[in-house]
Amino acid sequence: MKLNAMERDTVVMLLGIDAIIFLYLLTYPVRRAFDKQSKSVTRGPSARVPAAGRILLDEAYEHALSEYGNKGYEFCKGLMERSPITLPHPRDPNKQVEITAFWDDVSEQREGGPIQVQVCVPYSTPHGVEPPTRSFVVYADVRVVPSEPD
């Protein structure tokens, strides 16, 4: 296969960039960062969540359940259109609470199926690790079923 000078220079440049990226990925700080991430992902949820984070989540969950759970099914349908919403934490105004409402199954949307409302207190986590959530389910017949803490 014959390449003209411009094609040859392009191939050499791309191979050079690939080699630089490969060598960078072999450096100690990068390997250590990936090693820490894999350890945090393989641990159970309780190992990732500090006790203070769990307390903040439980407080936010109780507040959201009392504030939004009793407003009814139609309110939660409207909440889905604005999801996710972010509010200040009820006890710590420096923290944010994220509330998301969604159908558990898209087919349930037409049938008046249950709406799940998920509560989360985002905090700094390693890349790829989701902060913990708690949720409750609101039914069309005004039942609200809270979840149990993990």
Q: Are residues 133 and 71 in the same domain?
A: yes
Q: Are residues 138 and 85 in the same domain?
A: yes
Q: What whole-number distance in Å separates Cα of residue 123 and Cα of residue 39?
A: 19
Measure CA 2 to chain center: 50
Q: Are residues 134 and 60 in the same domain?
A: yes
Q: Are residues 30 and 61 in the same domain?
A: no
pLDDT tens-digit readout, 100-116: 888 766 666 666 788 88
Q: Are residues 30 and 98 in the same domain?
A: no
State the pLDDT confidence band at 47, using cuts at 50, 70 and 90: very low
Domain encompassing residue 97: 45-146
Average pLDDT over every residue of 6-10: 93
pLDDT tens-digit readout, 66-123: 887 778 778 877 888 787 888 888 888 888 888 888 876 666 666 678 888 888 887 6
Q: Are residues 35 and 82 in the same domain?
A: no
Note the pLDDT of residue 7.
92
Q: Are residues 88 and 125 in the same domain?
A: yes
Q: Are residues 13 and 64 in the same domain?
A: no
For 87, the token pair is 């509010």
Q: Are residues 26 and 52 in the same domain?
A: no
Note the pLDDT of residue 46.
43
Q: Are residues 121 and 96 in the same domain?
A: yes
Structurally, how many domains does the chain consist of? 2
Q: Are residues 64 and 124 in the same domain?
A: yes
Q: What whole-number distance in Å separates Cα of residue 48 and Cα of residue 41?
A: 8
pTM: 0.58
Q: Are residues 63 and 22 in the same domain?
A: no
